[in-house]
Amino acid sequence: MRQVLLIEDEANIAEALRFILSRDGWAVSVVSDGARALADVVRIRPDLVILDSMLPGMSGLEILLALRADPANAALPILMLTAKGQLRDREAAERAGVTAFMSKPFDNSEIRAKVRELLGA
């Protein structure tokens, strides 16, 4: 089973995404604290990371930069979700090496399709 690590501090969004993706057959682990996220990536070795941009402990952009600095995570698909859909936020994420970017709120079918695309399913 393919593993998705969801790094999201809003419980309602995390539970909704876990439900949606689990129904599609993905194993979903959730971490809500940015400071714990990097350790969870190492421990879980996910096939995909869905990353919120605003997190306690460490921002999504900081996590993204740290992941991309590690050669073991260079090819790891990372989908960044943000309520701040401004162009400068998107550009910063792209410069840091994000694979895909999606603004909140999002349509359930849109997120499912993006996950399938990123995982080649």
Tens-place pLDDT, residues 73-111: 999 999 999 876 678 888 889 999 999 999 888 899 999
- DSSP letter for 98, please: -
- DSSP letter for 71, please: G
- DSSP letter for 13, please: H
CA distance 30 to 33: 9
Q: What is the predicted pLDDT for the residue at 62?
A: 95
CATH architecture of 3-86: 3-Layer(aba) Sandwich (3.40)
Domain residue ranges in the chain? 3-86
Residue 30 — very low, low, confident or very high, per pLDDT cuts 50/70/90? very high
Q: What is the predicted pLDDT for the residue at 85?
A: 62
CA distance 121 to 116: 5
Q: Partners of 103 in the beta sheet?
A: 82
Residue 64 pLDDT > 70:
yes
Crossing angle of the two packed helices 11-23 and 108-118, in degrees rounded to 10:
60
Q: What is the predicted pLDDT for the residue at 14?
A: 95
Q: What is the predicted pLDDT for the residue at 114?
A: 95
Which of 108, 109, 90 has its CA nearest to residue 100? Answer: 90
